[in-house]
Amino acid sequence: QVQLVESGGGLVQAGGSLRLSCAASGRTFSNYAMGWFRQAPGKEREFVAAINWGGGITSYADSVKGRFTISRDNAKNTVYLQMYSLRPEDTAVYYCAARPYRIVVVSSQYDYWGQGTQVTVSS
């Protein structure tokens, strides 16, 4: 199995930035596509961004495109989500997830999940 631990969340004012990290252990990290999802109270978990095993292909939700950047460092077994121009509607628990090879945007297709990190954006 793959174990995932998110970090980097916190409280930030609208327009600010945060960088989330997800440290992976267990299986060979470089063979997995990685995704970021988020969930606010009373809402369904939604796709945010994903990156393939080699780091050369990325996908973003329309709501974050141009503001968020996903990246990975396979040598460090870590995936990142750099967030700029944060808005109150970005407030949620952010989760990282892993699956073999292919990028998908459906949460049920990911095999491993972290515990989440809270991001709160004040107006």
What would the pLDDT profile of 42-57 be if each residue is shown by its tens digit? 999 999 999 998 889 9
Alpha carbons 48 and 57: distance in angstroms, whole number: 14
**Nearest one of 120, 69, 122, 112 to 94, comparing CA atoms:** 120
Rg of the chain over all Cα atoms, to the nearest angstrom: 13
Contact assessment for residue 67 and residue 81, using Cβ atoms and an 8 Å cutoff: no
Task: Write out pLDDT tens, residues 11-38.
Answer: 999 999 999 999 999 876 778 999 999 9
> How confident is the model at residue 101, as a pLDDT?
86
Largest CA distance in the chain: 41
Count other Cβ atoms within 10 Å, centred on residue 31.
12
Q: What pLDDT digit, counting tens, does each position of 56-80 carry?
A: 999 999 999 999 999 999 889 999 9
